[in-house]
Amino acid sequence: MKTKILILLSALLLAAMPAMAQQKYACVNTDYVLRSIPDYANAQKRLDKYVEDWTAELAEKQSELENLCFEYEQESYLLPENLKKRRQEEIKSKEQEVRALQQQRFGPGGDLDKKRAELLKPVQDRVYAAIERIAQEKNYGMVFDKAGSPAVLFANKKYDISDDVLESLGYKPGSSAASAEPEGGKKKPTNPELRQRDTDRSTGLSRGRDTKK
């Protein structure tokens, strides 16, 4: 049975090869395109500022938790059992607070994801719409994204439509950090190099920390 299925799939693939060979292909570097759009650079700066503020907020809460743990470790031997229990509950409550804040800010569907969708996605959608429009106009069967993709080992420049995408959006092609000026419009500010930030940093949360002395 498996042999028959393999023979059938092979026959279908051979039949489809002539049609596939006739298709046109292109590639695009979405990183280059996005870095050339000032709106995206400005949105990334705003997102970075949110991340910076949230990280500082989380670090402050973590510091409060560490102080509670340290004070308890220093004083626990002097405390009666009822006060020990109360301090342990305070530490547990603070751990839950820090953990909840971590999830709220950087967890799946959290504030970072929401802000990324609010600030970056509109520009990304414009780029993808332009790619689709160009692909349809030039009858490309497939368009590959060569931005950081190990699957694209070589791409001839004449099949790279990155500059076409920028032009269709009203920007003049240039270097990845060049300013972009809409055609027939007012010149927009220079697009700086975007900083790569690890926004998904994890915060070490301790439960009943026994290691800090």
Residue-wise pLDDT tens digits, 184-197: 443 333 333 333 33
Residue 43 has pLDDT above 90, yes or no: yes
Q: Is residue 50 part of a domain?
A: yes
Q: Which residue has the higher pLDDT, 71 or 19?
A: 71
CB atoms near residue 67 (< 10 Å): 11
| Residue 204 domain-assigned (yes or no) | no
Domain assignment present for 8: no
| Structural domain for 106, as ranges | 41-116
Q: Are 65 and 72 in contact (CB under 8 A)?
A: no
Q: Give residue 188's pLDDT.
A: 39
Residue 133 in domain: no
Would 79 be classed as within a structural domain?
yes
181 assigned to some structural domain: no
For the segment 148-174, what is each residue's pLDDT rounded down to a tens digit?
765 554 556 777 888 888 888 888 887
Higher pLDDT, 182 or 192: 182
Average pLDDT over residues 198-205: 38
Give 143 or 196, the one with higher predicted confidence: 143
pLDDT at 136 over 60: yes
Mean pLDDT of 117-122: 95
DSSP SS3 for 181: coil
Domain count across the chain: 1
